Structure 1
Amino acid sequence: MRGATPAKRPVPATRDFDLDAAVTALAPPVPTKNHSSPSDILLVGIGGTGVVTAAGLIAQAARLDGNGVRTLNFTGFAQKGGEVLSHVRFCSDETALHQARIAQGEADFVLVADIVAGVSEKVLTVFSSERTRCIANLHESQTGPMLRNPDIRIGSNRLIDLLTSRSQRIDMIDAGQLAEALVGDREQANILLLGFSWQLGALPLTLLSIQQALDGLGRYASIARVAFQWGRLAAAIPAQIHDLLGQSTGSRAEDLASLISSRRDFLIAYQDASYAQRYVERVEKIRNAAQALGDTSLTEVVAKNLFKLMAYKDEYEVARLHVETDFLASISDRFDGKTKFRFHFSPPLIAPKDRRTGERGKIAFGPWIIPVLRLLARGKFLRGTVFDLLGRQAERRAERQMLAEYEQHVDWIARILTAERLPLCRSLTALPEQIRGFGHVKLRSLNKVSTRRRELLQQIESSLRNEVPDTRPEFSRGRDAPEKEKKLIGQRP
């Protein structure tokens, strides 16, 4: 995007909502602590998200209420997205504040703006399961190891369980999502968290003092007040807020039936109804086999990974996603000003090699390419046929070969599945999760998956050796694999 700036506006559903009236109707909270003894509050998050600003607002509001205040900020490498801790202690009797740092197990309230940062050892030491109130933002930030190893998973449920076990009470909210939808600015997430916390009684401060502290933000005061008000409503009337945004307050987990249905619908748009039906029938085949063992996890793994292989992102699909969805319109809605699109593609034959890597590089195209994309998107019926010239690339042939193998593996697993083989079969069918990237990056990824697949097939085969003849798909049998597969996926021993 050129000549544009990010737009900061809430979703349309909030335009007719009387925010001031809704907030005025709220009952004031009952603070969980008075000022006769020190209030110990810790805010934790990552750099650049306003944690220190939020801590400063709490400290300023406490001073306006007539309290003595002590603060201590640990920013470390915060400027690079590192961990930030802000200790805020206040009391009507300033002589009771002997230090600024919260002692071990002495936190009254911990505001976790990022759950990854919130479970570090230096944070958990101030918790007490008999004393500490915790409010956690469900946002998960990427860590350094995650950038280096994409297979790392945060495991947010485990982090939440850990915070819950250390807290006297915990409340959770996706503040970033709500701030973006309700306020139009994700950067107001921590101010929204303050409103949420205050309405739940976790901040023993007067509303007037908080409002005066927000006024001190200068040109940001107006939007901060709005974020604080929405935070209060999110705490007091969460069901109405979710209804306003068209969200469900139930479990966010996608059930198996809707998972399969959504992917079937996608494949219809991707190719056609018969292609989607091929997906459904193969998933049902494995589902019937797994249900006999009382298992649903294998079906879910197959449903996700078979879809991934069937919906490989070739030139036709890239074009379709650009011009036959709301992609361009949604991008335009997120920016203000006169926008100009620039598309960076790596078309075969004409794309030059990158001087640094020696691999195929990219070419920038102007808006004139959009009609070409529309024409290319309509050519999806050529996919996989003898007239598919684009499909003759090594990457496209490897993708089709991988899909054919996977489908035969699924059919084979449906015949030989037992409770003992279930873990191995689940690992085998989950391998496509490790396939990432495009072009030469994807081909290298396929080679790694191919090695691991051989290992798993050998283990499954050993469990079958004394039971049934070798029924494994022919081109999965190590040295006997066809020569064309060796050339596409990589040489095998």
Structure 2
Amino acid sequence: MVDGKQVRTLDQTGLAQKGGAVVSDVKVTSAVVEQAPKLADAECDLYLACDALVGTDAQYLAAADPHRTVAVVSTTEAPTGKMIIDTTVSFPEQSSVRAAVDGASAHAFYVDARRLAEDLFGDDQYANILLLGAYKDEYEVARLHLDEDLETEIEAQFGEGSRFAFQLHPPVLRALGMKRKISLGPRSRPALRVLRSMRKVRGTRLDIFGYAGVRRVERALVEEYRDAVLRALDTEGFHSGPDTVVELAALPDMVRGYEHIKLANVAAYRARQAELLAQLERPVVAAGR
């Protein structure tokens, strides 16, 4: 169970390090439903392709429905095992990749996730997380800082026995007047584990962090964005102004920063969203002679 929803998954892990595909089927329902975790043909609502070549494989695209599926595809060119072994094998043209996805889905969006992750976070390792749209609140911060691979990566870069600490400035402490960051070393792990375990209360009345002003705004934005996209898809201008719809779908990228900086960006985001929706909802007048 995740955030009150029932989740069933099926992972086909393959040998990714040797060029094999990694595919995950995920079903999310409000109530317990006795059904196979694997998606049937034309059953997919969101088709998320972190690797465009894997995403265009017909056996996986069969789960998509050209009338309902929304596809989000990374255009980053990740070499396959065959490409590494045989240098004469190259990537197909982006047009052919997009044609396959466009033909199997109702709406498709393309983004160079690796480049965007490097621009935003300075590390392309966050590319897939970026595509998933992971929300980083206090519980998620605790989970990330308890990553078992983190210490291994630090020792690989700086040597065995390297000491490290996290520099954090929690919004709760900032609201209480603390103006400097706090340093959390290995001894903070028990507290982080407790915080991570509390993620089940996220969004409920027991979520003490959810009462902060910024957190309330952040969570309201989720519903606002969903409603805005649905409104856009239902307008007369949807077919005549696809570029406007694409810009509206990409607007969340405006919401960056922390505290007052984020709130200022939210105001700009809402203003631009209103402008785009107004453009799409204007009556379409056919030109005549």
Deviations 1:239-295 (A, max 9, x none): xxxxxx9476xxxxxxxx98xx77x87xx9xxxx559x9xx746774639xx9x869
Whether 1:327 and 2:111 are equivalent positions in the alignment is no
Q: What amino acid is the match of 2:70? A: R
For 1:297 and 1:443, how far apart are their aligned partners in 2?
33
Aligned to 2:109: 300
Pick one of 202, 207, 228 that aligns with 1:409: 228
Question: Any conservation in 1 of the 2:244–2:276 contact (CA below 8 Å)?
Answer: yes
Q: % of aligned pairs identical?
A: 31
Aligned to 1:441: 261
Whether 1:339 and 2:148 are equivalent positions in the alignment is no
Question: Any conservation in 2 of the 1:421–1:460 contact (CA below 8 Å)?
Answer: yes
Cα deviation for residue 375 of structure 1 reads 1.4
Question: Any conservation in 2 of the 1:309–1:432 contact (CA below 8 Å)?
Answer: no
TM-score calculated relative to the size of structure 1: 0.33
Higher relative contact order (CA 8 A, sep 6+): 1
For 2:189 and 2:274, how far apart are their aligned partners in 1?
43
Tell me the number of residue pairs that the alignment of Structure 1 and Structure 2 aligns: 195
Deviations 1:158-215 (A, max 9, x none): xxxxxxxxxxxxxxxxxxxxxxxxxxxxxxxxxxxxxxxxxxxxxxxxxxxxxxxxxx
Deviations 1:345-378 (A, max 9, x none): 1224434647xxxxx5421223211111111111
- 324 and 338 in structure 1: CA distance in 2 versus 1, 3 angstrom threshold: closer
TM-score calculated relative to the size of structure 2: 0.54
For 1:389 and 1:411, how far apart are their aligned partners in 2?
31
Classify the secondary structure of the residue corresponding to 2:167. strand
Question: Any conservation in 1 of the 2:139–2:198 contact (CA below 8 Å)?
Answer: yes
Aligned to 1:392: 211
- 429 and 382 in structure 1: CA distance in 2 versus 1, 3 angstrom threshold: same
- 347 and 287 in structure 1: CA distance in 2 versus 1, 3 angstrom threshold: closer
For 2:282 and 2:256, how far apart are their aligned partners in 1?
30
Pick one of 266, 278, 289 that aligns with 1:458: 278
- 301 and 246 in structure 1: CA distance in 2 versus 1, 3 angstrom threshold: closer
For 2:268 and 2:109, how far apart are their aligned partners in 1?
23
- 301 and 459 in structure 1: CA distance in 2 versus 1, 3 angstrom threshold: farther
Question: Any conservation in 2 of the 1:286–1:414 contact (CA below 8 Å)?
Answer: no
Q: What amino acid is the match of 1:329? A: T
For 1:410 and 1:326, how far apart are their aligned partners in 2?
37
Q: What amino acid is the match of 1:299? A: A
Q: What is the root-mean-square deviation of aligned Cα atoms in Å?
A: 4.2
For 1:437 and 1:374, how far apart are their aligned partners in 2?
26
Gaps of 5+ in 1: 1-244, 249-256, 355-359, 468-493
Question: Any conservation in 1 of the 2:169–2:182 contact (CA below 8 Å)?
Answer: yes
For 1:446 and 1:427, how far apart are their aligned partners in 2?
16
Cα deviation for residue 457 of structure 1 reads 1.3
For 1:387 and 1:332, how far apart are their aligned partners in 2?
38
For 1:309 and 1:395, how far apart are their aligned partners in 2?
22
- 337 and 418 in structure 1: CA distance in 2 versus 1, 3 angstrom threshold: closer
Cα deviation for residue 308 of structure 1 reads 6.7
Question: Any conservation in 2 of the 1:316–1:380 contact (CA below 8 Å)?
Answer: yes
For 2:208 and 2:138, how far apart are their aligned partners in 1?
11
For the pair shown, which has the larger CA radius of gyration, 1 or 2?
Answer: 1
- 297 and 362 in structure 1: CA distance in 2 versus 1, 3 angstrom threshold: farther
For 2:146 and 2:108, how far apart are their aligned partners in 1?
33
Gaps of 5+ in 2: 1-15, 31-38, 48-64, 72-98, 114-129
Question: Any conservation in 2 of the 1:346–1:361 contact (CA below 8 Å)?
Answer: yes
Classify the secondary structure of the residue corresponding to 2:109. helix
Aligned to 2:202: 383
For 1:328 and 1:463, how far apart are their aligned partners in 2?
58
- 437 and 327 in structure 1: CA distance in 2 versus 1, 3 angstrom threshold: farther
> What are the within-5 Å matches in structure 2 for residues 90-489 of structure 1?
246=17, 273-274=28-29, 281=45, 285=68, 287=70, 298-300=107-109, 311-324=134-147, 326-351=149-174, 353=177, 361-416=180-235, 418-463=238-283
Q: What amino acid is the match of 1:315? A: E
Cα deviation for residue 459 of structure 1 reads 0.7
Q: What amino acid is the match of 1:300? A: F
Q: What amino acid is the match of 2:281? A: E
Q: What amino acid is the match of 1:287? A: V
Question: Any conservation in 2 of the 1:286–1:410 contact (CA below 8 Å)?
Answer: no
Q: What amino acid is the match of 2:161? A: K
For 2:142 and 2:192, how far apart are their aligned partners in 1?
5
